[in-house]
Amino acid sequence: MPRPIYATIYPAAVAHNLSAAKQASAQSGANVWATIKANAYGHGIERIFSGLREADGLAMLDFAEAALVRSLGWQKPILMLEGCFSAEDYALAQALDLTVVVHHQAQIEWLLQAQLTQKINVYLKMNSGMNRVGFAPSRYQAAFDALKSAEQVESITLMTHFANADLPDGVAKPLQIFNQTTAKIMADFPQTQRSCSNSAAILQHPDAHFDWVRPGIMTYGGTPIGASSAASFGLMPAMSLHAQLIAIQELQAGDAVGYGSRFVATQSMRIGVVACGYADGYPRHAPDGTPVMVDGVVTRLVGRVSMDMLMVDLSPVAHAAVGSAVELWGAQIAIDDVASAAGTIGYELMCALAPRVPVNVAL
């Protein structure tokens, strides 16, 4: 039989979570870009595609992924979040009918040189404090003017990205910068659209919703706000990871578990060995106490995670045996709880699911 580990992807959960994003931004009437970069945060674009139907557009980075969703039949807008990486990419953007982000001067120069037969839509990105990509506020108007006069450009949407939208006051300063910088543009061209909100801003900063929101992690049932659970926002996990017990050990006080003998039993106890390790995408640095569910009972990880196995305390699961079902994350064990215990974020665990893990798609 195959090694007893598998992941399940739930397109219906993706659809549900996008509906939650729409509801959260309904008052502003914002359209929704479903962000599917990094192969849909590790879930697989093709696997979740049926759950994306109600999105108003798809946002991604890779031109190959844009070609993929077009081949799957997607006819609505596609937004390339990092824009073009060379002058030649603009011809590809035209061929695939893509909207491209423009965030530095070279991209404007490439666009002005492009021999296009049709105009394309662009998003002009402002650096409002993240300091990754985007035009400084002092250069934003000039960039807008250059694009506005370009014969290759159909429409311009104003855009920024928040570094701290998960904090209660995390968008106040960057939103002020964005609004002040774009005030003249909005006065001169009041129909110009704007896009600022990621998942956290969608859920707690309605003043930043504007015309298009860009849900990322919430699309997959993860929380963008560390102090709040995804379930508290009505979100559903789009991925679960399951395995089975493949062995059981009886320990006595003083017996150690796993490499480095990190965990030492203080009394007699049963330890279950799970067919999952860091080569499957489980975080190697997960500490003792990380939640795991065995046969419907929440217990804890003990000992260091190895390449192919991890160990759990069976003290609260007296009936557990070889073959008992294990949930590493999913409907009962929130991926964010596992990530938090391991000192990381749910995004990383989603993206880290290893190719060797069999994946089912729930219909």
Residue 3 one-letter amino acid: R
Determine contact, residues 37/274, Cβ cutoff 8 Å: no
Cα dihedral 36, 39, 40, 41, rounded to 10, equals: -120
Residues 50 and 290: their CA atoms lie apart, in Å, by 33
Q: 259 an active-site residue?
A: yes
Alpha-carbon distances of 5 from 271, 317, 353, rounded to whole Å: 18, 20, 12
Contacts of 362 (CB under 8 A, 6+ apart): 8, 9, 10, 11, 12
Helix (H, G, I), strand (E, B) or coil at 277: coil
User: Residue 225 carries which DSSP code?
Assistant: S
Active site residue 37: yes
Contact yes or no for 305/284 (Cβ under 8 A): yes
- 37, 41, 140, 220: which one is catalytic? 37
Rounded to a whole number of angstroms, the CA Rg of the chain reads 24
The 8-class DSSP code of residue 198 comes to -
Q: Interhelix angle for 137-148 vs 172-188, to 10°?
A: 30
What span, in angstroms and rounded, lies between the C-alpha atoms of 275 and 107?
48
For residue 360, give both structure tokens: 């089912």
d(CA 3, CA 207): 50
SS3 content of the chain, % helix, strand, coil (to 5): 35, 25, 45
DSSP assignment letter at 67: H
Catalytic residue positions?
A: 37, 259
